[in-house]
Structure 1
Protein backbone atom coordinates (compact mmCIF):
# COMPACT_ATOMS: atom_id res chain seq x y z
CA UNK A 1 0.00 0.00 0.00
CA UNK A 2 2.56 2.67 1.10
CA UNK A 3 6.16 2.91 -0.09
CA UNK A 4 7.69 5.27 2.47
CA UNK A 5 7.20 7.98 5.05
CA UNK A 6 8.54 11.07 3.35
CA UNK A 7 7.63 13.97 5.62
CA UNK A 8 7.43 14.52 9.36
CA UNK A 9 6.71 17.78 11.14
CA UNK A 10 7.83 19.48 14.35
CA UNK A 11 6.96 22.94 15.65
CA UNK A 12 9.60 25.64 16.04
CA UNK A 13 9.05 29.24 17.09
CA UNK A 14 11.82 30.76 14.94
CA UNK A 15 12.67 29.16 11.61
CA UNK A 16 15.98 31.00 11.21
CA UNK A 17 17.08 29.81 14.66
CA UNK A 18 15.89 26.32 13.68
CA UNK A 19 18.12 26.46 10.59
CA UNK A 20 21.08 27.50 12.72
CA UNK A 21 20.49 24.53 15.02
CA UNK A 22 19.48 21.78 12.60
CA UNK A 23 21.86 22.74 9.79
CA UNK A 24 24.61 24.67 11.58
CA UNK A 25 24.96 22.39 14.62
CA UNK A 26 23.40 19.03 13.79
CA UNK A 27 24.66 19.01 10.19
CA UNK A 28 21.37 18.38 8.41
CA UNK A 29 20.80 20.11 5.07
CA UNK A 30 18.00 22.28 3.74
CA UNK A 31 15.76 20.37 1.35
CA UNK A 32 13.14 23.10 0.71
CA UNK A 33 12.98 26.72 1.85
CA UNK A 34 10.07 28.40 0.12
CA UNK A 35 7.93 31.39 0.99
CA UNK A 36 4.37 30.39 0.20
CA UNK A 37 3.01 33.79 1.19
CA UNK A 38 0.82 32.45 3.98
CA UNK A 39 3.72 30.47 5.50
CA UNK A 40 7.35 29.50 5.01
CA UNK A 41 7.73 25.84 3.96
CA UNK A 42 11.07 24.85 5.46
CA UNK A 43 12.31 21.27 5.44
CA UNK A 44 15.63 19.66 6.35
CA UNK A 45 17.02 16.18 5.77
CA UNK A 46 20.08 14.06 6.47
CA UNK A 47 22.73 14.77 3.78
CA UNK A 48 22.63 12.06 1.15
CA UNK A 49 19.27 10.78 2.43
CA UNK A 50 16.78 13.22 0.89
CA UNK A 51 13.85 10.76 0.96
CA UNK A 52 12.76 11.75 4.48
CA UNK A 53 12.22 15.41 5.32
CA UNK A 54 11.40 17.21 8.57
CA UNK A 55 9.12 20.23 8.24
CA UNK A 56 10.19 22.96 10.69
CA UNK A 57 6.82 24.64 11.09
CA UNK A 58 5.89 27.77 13.03
CA UNK A 59 2.63 27.39 14.94
CA UNK A 60 0.02 29.59 13.32
CA UNK A 61 -2.01 30.06 10.17
CA UNK A 62 -3.07 28.37 8.04
CA UNK A 63 -3.19 25.32 10.34
CA UNK A 64 -4.40 27.13 13.47
CA UNK A 65 -5.71 30.45 14.75
CA UNK A 66 -3.53 32.74 16.88
CA UNK A 67 -5.05 31.61 20.20
CA UNK A 68 -4.29 27.99 19.45
CA UNK A 69 -0.82 28.91 18.15
CA UNK A 70 -0.05 30.64 21.46
CA UNK A 71 -1.10 27.52 23.37
CA UNK A 72 1.14 25.39 21.15
CA UNK A 73 4.09 27.78 21.72
CA UNK A 74 3.58 27.51 25.50
CA UNK A 75 3.48 23.71 25.36
CA UNK A 76 6.49 23.66 23.06
CA UNK A 77 8.55 25.72 25.51
CA UNK A 78 7.76 23.11 28.18
CA UNK A 79 8.75 20.23 25.92
CA UNK A 80 5.17 18.98 26.09
CA UNK A 81 4.08 18.91 22.44
CA UNK A 82 5.12 15.31 21.96
CA UNK A 83 7.30 16.21 18.98
CA UNK A 84 10.56 14.32 18.75
CA UNK A 85 13.09 13.15 16.20
CA UNK A 86 15.18 9.98 16.11
CA UNK A 87 18.52 10.08 14.30
CA UNK A 88 20.99 7.24 13.80
CA UNK A 89 24.75 7.34 13.66
CA UNK A 90 27.60 4.87 13.28
CA UNK A 91 29.32 6.21 16.43
CA UNK A 92 27.08 7.72 19.10
CA UNK A 93 29.89 8.70 21.46
CA UNK A 94 31.85 10.47 18.71
CA UNK A 95 28.71 12.28 17.51
CA UNK A 96 27.97 13.29 21.11
CA UNK A 97 31.49 14.76 21.54
CA UNK A 98 31.32 16.61 18.20
CA UNK A 99 27.94 18.14 19.05
CA UNK A 100 29.08 19.07 22.56
CA UNK A 101 31.98 20.96 20.98
CA UNK A 102 29.43 22.90 18.88
CA UNK A 103 27.54 23.94 22.02
CA UNK A 104 24.67 21.45 21.81
CA UNK A 105 23.18 20.83 25.26
CA UNK A 106 22.29 17.22 26.04
CA UNK A 107 19.64 15.87 28.38
CA UNK A 108 21.33 12.47 28.53
CA UNK A 109 24.86 11.27 27.83
CA UNK A 110 25.44 8.20 25.62
CA UNK A 111 24.27 5.03 27.35
CA UNK A 112 24.42 1.32 26.49
CA UNK A 113 20.94 -0.05 25.79
CA UNK A 114 19.73 -3.46 24.63
CA UNK A 115 19.17 -1.95 21.15
CA UNK A 116 22.45 0.00 20.95
CA UNK A 117 23.97 3.18 22.33
CA UNK A 118 21.89 6.33 22.50
CA UNK A 119 21.78 9.81 23.97
CA UNK A 120 19.23 12.60 24.20
CA UNK A 121 18.95 16.34 23.73
CA UNK A 122 16.34 19.00 23.14
CA UNK A 123 16.35 21.53 20.35
CA UNK A 124 16.11 25.25 21.25
CA UNK A 125 12.31 24.96 21.11
CA UNK A 126 11.78 22.01 23.44
CA UNK A 127 11.54 19.15 20.91
CA UNK A 128 13.23 15.94 22.04
CA UNK A 129 15.92 14.38 19.86
CA UNK A 130 17.36 10.89 20.34
CA UNK A 131 20.61 9.87 18.67
CA UNK A 132 21.07 6.12 18.36
CA UNK A 133 23.88 3.81 17.32
CA UNK A 134 21.97 0.59 16.65
CA UNK A 135 23.41 -2.73 17.74
CA UNK A 136 24.72 -4.59 14.75
CA UNK A 137 23.35 -8.05 14.19
CA UNK A 138 25.86 -10.89 13.91
Structure 2
Protein backbone atom coordinates (compact mmCIF):
# COMPACT_ATOMS: atom_id res chain seq x y z
CA UNK A 1 0.00 0.00 0.00
CA UNK A 2 1.25 3.47 -0.92
CA UNK A 3 0.16 6.17 1.52
CA UNK A 4 1.51 9.66 2.15
CA UNK A 5 0.55 12.68 4.21
CA UNK A 6 -1.13 15.11 1.85
CA UNK A 7 -2.14 17.89 4.22
CA UNK A 8 -2.39 18.76 7.87
CA UNK A 9 -4.99 21.19 9.20
CA UNK A 10 -4.40 23.99 11.66
CA UNK A 11 -7.03 26.48 12.80
CA UNK A 12 -6.53 30.17 12.13
CA UNK A 13 -8.60 33.10 13.29
CA UNK A 14 -6.80 35.88 11.40
CA UNK A 15 -6.01 35.13 7.74
CA UNK A 16 -3.68 38.11 7.26
CA UNK A 17 -1.65 37.27 10.37
CA UNK A 18 -1.54 33.60 9.33
CA UNK A 19 -0.13 34.60 5.93
CA UNK A 20 2.46 36.86 7.56
CA UNK A 21 3.64 33.94 9.70
CA UNK A 22 3.51 30.99 7.30
CA UNK A 23 4.37 32.80 4.06
CA UNK A 24 6.58 35.67 5.20
CA UNK A 25 8.30 34.30 8.33
CA UNK A 26 8.54 30.59 7.45
CA UNK A 27 8.80 31.08 3.69
CA UNK A 28 5.99 28.72 2.67
CA UNK A 29 4.27 29.05 -0.69
CA UNK A 30 0.60 29.98 -0.79
CA UNK A 31 -1.11 27.22 -2.76
CA UNK A 32 -4.73 28.21 -2.32
CA UNK A 33 -6.62 31.08 -0.72
CA UNK A 34 -10.37 30.62 -0.58
CA UNK A 35 -12.98 32.87 0.97
CA UNK A 36 -16.54 31.76 1.56
CA UNK A 37 -19.29 33.43 3.61
CA UNK A 38 -16.82 35.65 5.43
CA UNK A 39 -14.47 32.76 6.25
CA UNK A 40 -11.00 32.05 4.88
CA UNK A 41 -9.12 28.83 4.09
CA UNK A 42 -5.45 29.20 3.17
CA UNK A 43 -3.31 26.32 1.94
CA UNK A 44 0.46 26.74 2.31
CA UNK A 45 3.41 24.44 1.87
CA UNK A 46 7.17 24.25 1.57
CA UNK A 47 8.70 25.24 -1.76
CA UNK A 48 9.64 22.24 -3.85
CA UNK A 49 7.23 19.93 -1.99
CA UNK A 50 3.90 20.36 -3.78
CA UNK A 51 2.57 17.10 -2.36
CA UNK A 52 2.65 18.33 1.27
CA UNK A 53 0.49 21.18 2.56
CA UNK A 54 -0.95 22.79 5.65
CA UNK A 55 -4.54 23.98 5.43
CA UNK A 56 -5.16 26.94 7.70
CA UNK A 57 -8.88 26.79 8.32
CA UNK A 58 -11.48 28.86 10.18
CA UNK A 59 -12.45 26.77 13.22
CA UNK A 60 -16.03 28.05 13.08
CA UNK A 61 -16.45 26.16 9.79
CA UNK A 62 -15.96 22.71 11.34
CA UNK A 63 -19.16 20.73 10.70
CA UNK A 64 -21.02 19.22 13.63
CA UNK A 65 -19.35 21.43 16.25
CA UNK A 66 -21.75 22.97 18.74
CA UNK A 67 -21.61 26.60 19.85
CA UNK A 68 -20.25 25.48 23.24
CA UNK A 69 -17.54 23.45 21.52
CA UNK A 70 -16.64 26.42 19.30
CA UNK A 71 -16.21 28.57 22.41
CA UNK A 72 -13.99 25.87 23.94
CA UNK A 73 -11.91 25.70 20.75
CA UNK A 74 -11.56 29.50 20.72
CA UNK A 75 -10.50 29.48 24.39
CA UNK A 76 -7.97 26.69 23.78
CA UNK A 77 -6.56 28.49 20.73
CA UNK A 78 -6.10 31.64 22.82
CA UNK A 79 -4.17 29.63 25.42
CA UNK A 80 -2.13 27.83 22.74
CA UNK A 81 -3.39 24.38 23.72
CA UNK A 82 -5.58 23.38 20.78
CA UNK A 83 -3.25 22.45 17.90
CA UNK A 84 0.40 21.97 17.02
CA UNK A 85 2.66 20.88 14.20
CA UNK A 86 6.27 19.69 13.97
CA UNK A 87 8.35 20.90 11.03
CA UNK A 88 11.92 20.07 10.06
CA UNK A 89 14.83 22.04 8.62
CA UNK A 90 18.48 21.45 7.88
CA UNK A 91 19.52 24.55 9.89
CA UNK A 92 17.28 25.24 12.87
CA UNK A 93 19.47 28.08 14.16
CA UNK A 94 19.28 30.04 10.91
CA UNK A 95 15.53 29.50 10.64
CA UNK A 96 15.08 30.53 14.27
CA UNK A 97 16.91 33.81 13.61
CA UNK A 98 14.76 34.48 10.54
CA UNK A 99 11.47 33.78 12.32
CA UNK A 100 12.47 35.52 15.55
CA UNK A 101 13.17 38.69 13.55
CA UNK A 102 9.39 38.86 12.95
CA UNK A 103 6.88 39.80 15.61
CA UNK A 104 6.23 36.22 16.82
CA UNK A 105 5.96 34.55 20.20
CA UNK A 106 9.07 32.48 20.93
CA UNK A 107 8.27 29.45 23.08
CA UNK A 108 11.74 27.89 23.03
CA UNK A 109 15.07 28.98 21.60
CA UNK A 110 17.12 26.34 19.75
CA UNK A 111 17.97 23.58 22.20
CA UNK A 112 19.73 20.22 21.95
CA UNK A 113 17.20 17.68 23.23
CA UNK A 114 18.19 14.44 25.01
CA UNK A 115 16.23 12.44 22.42
CA UNK A 116 18.60 13.40 19.61
CA UNK A 117 17.26 16.51 17.91
CA UNK A 118 17.92 20.21 18.09
CA UNK A 119 14.71 22.18 18.03
CA UNK A 120 12.94 25.45 18.75
CA UNK A 121 9.31 26.45 19.07
CA UNK A 122 7.02 29.37 18.28
CA UNK A 123 3.32 30.12 18.55
CA UNK A 124 1.66 31.19 15.33
CA UNK A 125 -0.74 34.15 15.46
CA UNK A 126 -3.66 31.83 16.30
CA UNK A 127 -1.83 30.19 19.21
CA UNK A 128 -0.83 26.96 17.46
CA UNK A 129 2.49 25.52 18.65
CA UNK A 130 4.97 25.29 15.77
CA UNK A 131 7.99 23.19 16.72
CA UNK A 132 10.90 23.15 14.27
CA UNK A 133 13.40 20.32 14.48
CA UNK A 134 16.80 19.54 13.01
CA UNK A 135 18.35 16.10 13.03
CA UNK A 136 21.27 15.79 15.44
CA UNK A 137 24.68 15.98 13.81
TM-score calculated relative to the size of structure 1: 0.85
Question: Deviation of residue 5 (structure 1)?
Answer: 0.9
Check conservation: 1:41, 1:57, Cα contact below 8 A.
yes
Which segments of 5 or more consecutive residues in structure 2 lack a partner in the other structure? Answer: none
- The root-mean-square deviation of aligned C-alpha atoms, in Å, is 1.9
Question: Deviation of residue 76 (structure 1)?
Answer: 0.6
Q: How far apart, in 2, do the equivalents of 1:13 and 1:40 lie?
A: 9
Structure 1 residues 40 and 105, CA, compared in 2 at 3 Å: closer, same or farther? closer
Check conservation: 1:92, 1:117, Cα contact below 8 A.
yes
Q: How far apart, in 2, do the equivalents of 1:46 and 1:117 lie?
A: 20
State the secondary structure of the residue aligned to 1:129. strand
- Does residue 116 of the first structure (1) align with residue 125 of the second (2)? no
Runs of 4+ in 1 over 6 A off after TM superposition: none
Correspondence 1:1-138 to 2 at 5 A: 1-37=1-37, 39-63=39-63, 64-81=65-82, 83-113=83-113, 114-136=115-137
Check conservation: 1:116, 1:133, Cα contact below 8 A.
yes
State the secondary structure of the residue aligned to 2:77. helix
TM-score calculated relative to the size of structure 2: 0.86
